[in-house]
Chains A and B, each alone.
Chain A
């Protein structure tokens, strides 16, 4: 019982910082490719992104269940939105089946097209577009790809050339680079550390949604009361609550 809530929050921050550092490392060559020409060939983008992300999706016990680059249409020839997104090997996935190799996310069916018509309004795109900063979306059940409870980390990608209304010499956002982490996998990284603290703890997102909890009465997926400030996890919108309780603002009427 040697650790404090602050230590635990720092260890959460370290895991997420690791992912964001990876996203930043992927972003540099993608931005370089985009800056090389006013319009990028989809195949060139796909090849580059696959080379970058596949090693992290196929390593032993991968932290990431999916990763890639989502471009808004302007920079990709002939596309409205372009997904260069790969999923790691999946277990018994009800939508995509079981896979032992990474799979490219296939967006050719109409359902996806309709869902993604408004992709700019979806949190994983909208927030980085608004803040020009990295963002953590979730936890949420991803019904598009993994059918799992996940967190999505996204980081804006910018281009310097002025086409499409950006100020000459300025930059504009042309997409996001991102990765998905399953809550289950995150738990395996973090639970032992949380259990090293005597007091019950909960890791929650900005709205109080529980990612991990050592308080049995407050479970993953529930909303926690955010009255206590808790310990912010550095570099993330998450925090660790001490002696957490289910949200009191939400009165369950039976």
Chain B
């Protein structure tokens, strides 16, 4: 399995409000399960280097996470910042995150993510060799979509595996950047069994189209996949705005 979804959490940041961005990136990774409970985050200097920010900015960002109860910092040889497990808290943080983004922003993110993924899938179908397609199929067959956390990690990994087959370094970089910015939110709907099964089925359609060198079908399947993921996201936004709970089932 590729480390895409996870590595994306630590990808470079844009300029404004960097400590908040550090906190937001890590918060998204934690509340949506890409970073697991009990996991040790990279060291402060390592985070500074990877986010491309000063050490003090990282410390400030981690301070925000500590305040929010998402990480705890332990001292000593086996010390560091560790992800704290607390599902109830995480749900309220996701709700807050959804409230902070306008519906139009969420749906535009999904449009852009979908456009990039469709281009990636199309190129992968043109360029993958028989061996590449076989490896991708093997990768997906071994990927677990049984739990929300495993499905998120593997869905993120799948996006990256397909991007690699496009043979385009730019598309791979953009995929990593978009996953960092938007991946955990886009994959919010994978809490639901049926959504996980749907996403995996669309993934298999993409693999079949890539193996058969059918770029138009690969593009269509990628579009359907991202549209499918955007529906529960926007439904969750609507529920949160109505003052309801995040966990209520998606109404048809």
Contacts and interface: CB of A to CB of B under 8 A. Distances in A.
A147 B2 CA distance: 13
B227 interface: no
B167 A141 contact: yes
B143 to A, nearest CB: 11
A222 B127 CA distance: 6
B204 interface: no
Chain A interface secondary structure, helix, strand, loop or mixed?
loop
A170 interface: no
Interface in A95-115: 95-99, 103, 106, 108-112, 114-115
A114 B2 CA distance: 8
Interface in B144-171: 160, 163-164, 166-169
Contacts of A112: 3
How large, as a class, is the contact surface on chain A? 35 or more
How large, as a class, is the contact surface on chain B? 35 or more
Nearest to A115: B3
A139 B163 CA distance: 14
B238 interface: no
A180 to B, nearest CB: 13
B213 A250 contact: yes
A119 interface: no
Contact of A221 (B160, B163, B168): B168
A97 B47 CA distance: 10
Interface in A196-239: 207-209, 220-223
Contacts of B131: 207
Chain B interface secondary structure, helix, strand, loop or mixed?
helix
B169 A141 contact: yes
A148 B169 contact: yes
A1 interface: no
Contacts of B4: 111, 143
A115 B127 CA distance: 23
8 contacts: A96-B49, A96-B50, A97-B50, A114-B3, A140-B167, A147-B176, A149-B167, A220-B167
Interface of B: 1-8, 10-12, 36, 39, 42, 46, 49-52, 126-127, 129, 131, 160, 163-164, 166-169, 172-173, 176-177, 212-216
Shortest Cβ-Cβ A-B pairs, 6 listed: A111-B3, A221-B167, A111-B6, A97-B52, A141-B172, A94-B173
Given A143-B172, A149-B168, A223-B127, 16 more contacts: A95-B11, A97-B51, A99-B49, A103-B49, A108-B42, A110-B3, A111-B4, A111-B5, A111-B7, A115-B1, A141-B163, A221-B166, A250-B213, A252-B215, A253-B212, A253-B213
